[in-house]
Amino acid sequence: MVRYLAFFLIGLGLTLCGRGIAQILEPFDYLFESGTEGYACFRIPAIVTTTEGTVLAFAEGRKKGCSDTGDIDLVMKRSEDNGQTWTKLMVIRDEGEQVCGNPAPVGDKLTGAIHLLSTWNLGEDHERDIIEGKSHDTRLVFVMSSTDEGLSWSEPREITASVKQENWTWYATGPCHGIQLKRGAHKGRLLIPCDHIEAGTKKCFSHSIYSDDQGQSWKLGGSTPLDQVNECTMAELSDGKVMLNMRNYDRSQKTRKVSISADGGLTWGPVFSDTSLIEPICQASMLMVIAEAGKKHTLLFLNPADENKRQNMTLLFNGNLGCFYEAGNSNSYEGLVFQEFPWQNIEQADY
């Protein structure tokens, strides 16, 4: 069974992630195996490649179990040969009994740096209590950076005040990769898809955060004008606009919700349903691939193509894919697997 997947195109330094339940060929070759390396459970994979081609695979290392609360660390492994071999586990953030999670990496092609956005909360605070305003603390937002291919990382730097409004309770970065804009007035901007919940109303929205100074400072972008959306993914379109594709809680329409920004994520336009993209309430992912000297643009989308269950994972493209996903024989939390798939074997297949 599979619940969360992260993909990247082999050798291209691009990432794509999503969730779903499906049968995978066995046995599983775990990159992070639950019950090993000092952790009871590994969840929430994210993957990115550097400008030099090093693959960085991130995860939440959960010390005592698979719960979203408790002692959770940010961990990582590196590969310098497109995922053929990997280093030993590196703990890049450990705050004792607290929760360090939601890894959302983005690479800066101009400097070569990798910036890792993430969230923090007290291990004793459950999500429902944070939403209700009954928790001892709230969700905080941090950034770490690496300029040496992920070998070392800067100390976590809190950016909550600049990216979270005071009347927001729950907050999540990703869980997915960010993007860097390639064209237009905001060329070079780093963008991270996020979501939040309002205090009092408990309405959930998607939003963006961004950096225009190579990750030195981060600012709050726009929020969606309509609620009942949260975990989201984004891609820059061929005309320079940015598409935000969102998990949808409006069950009158079991489809993905979409919004477009014409100003690099500073504001988001009307939210509408994409009736061609059905979903069972689940995270998904998009990726824009540019080929043929910038003339050919292919927008990839990955999600469980089912209205009710996390199954029938569907993706369209024509090259090999590196897949980093949660999987197991008896349950989906047995570990995180990295696997390369030849595209001709999986086009529109259930996997």
Q: What is the 3-state secondary structure (H, E, C) of 6-36?
A: EEEECCCCEEEEEECCCCCCCCCCEEEECCE
Global pTM reads 0.90
- The pLDDT value given to residue 32: 96
Q: What tens digit of pLDDT does each residue of 102-133 get?
A: 999 999 999 999 999 999 999 999 999 999 99
pLDDT value of residue 315? 55
Minimum mean pLDDT range among 18-27, 101-110, 136-145, 325-334: 18-27
The enclosing H or E element of 89 equals none
pLDDT digits (tens, 9 = 90+) for 334-346: 988 887 766 555 3
pLDDT in the model for residue 243:
97
Q: What is the mean pLDDT of the chain?
A: 87
Q: Are strands 90-93 and 72-79 parallel, antiparallel or unpaired?
A: antiparallel
If pLDDT is split at 50, 70 and 90, which confidence band does 283 have? confident
Q: Average pLDDT in the 244-262 region?
A: 95
Domain boundaries, the chain: 2-345
Local confidence band at 67 (pLDDT 50, 70, 90 cut-offs): very high
340 DSSP 8-state letter: E
Check residues 84 and 99 and name the one with the higher pLDDT: 99
Q: Please give the share of the chain, as a percent, with pLDDT higher than 70.
A: 85
Decide which of 235 and 1 is more confident: 235
Bigger pLDDT: 228 vs 338: 228
Q: Letter for the amino acid at 11?
A: G
CA 199 to chain centroid, in Å, comes to 24
* Residue 93, pLDDT above cutoff 60: yes
pLDDT for 350: 35
pLDDT band of residue 40 (cuts 50, 70, 90) is: very high
Instruction: Name the one residue in this structure whose structure tokens are 């009092």.
Output: 200
* Across 135-144, average pLDDT: 98
Beta bridge partners of 53: none
Which tens digit of pLDDT belongs to each residue from 286-322?
877 776 666 777 787 777 777 887 666 565 754 566 7
Give the fold, CATH level 3, of 2-345: Neuraminidase (2.120.10)
Mean pLDDT over 75-96 rounds to 95
pLDDT at 272 over 60: yes
pLDDT tens track for 201-226: 999 999 999 999 999 999 999 999 99
Compute the average pLDDT of residues 9-19: 45
Mean pLDDT of 147-175: 97
Q: Say whether pLDDT at 328 is over 70.
A: yes
| Residue 199 in this model has a pLDDT that exceeds 80 | yes
- What is the Cβ-side half-sphere exposure of residue 262, based on CA atoms within 13 angstroms? 2
Distance CA 135, CA 126 (A): 7
pLDDT the model gives residue 310: 64
- What is the pLDDT at residue 124? 97
DSSP track, 282-338? ---EEEEEEETTTTEEEEEEEEE--SSSS--EE---SS-EEEEEEE-SSSTTSEEEE
Query: Is residue 5 over pLDDT 90?
Result: no
The highest-confidence range among 17-26, 168-177, 288-297, by mean pLDDT, is 168-177
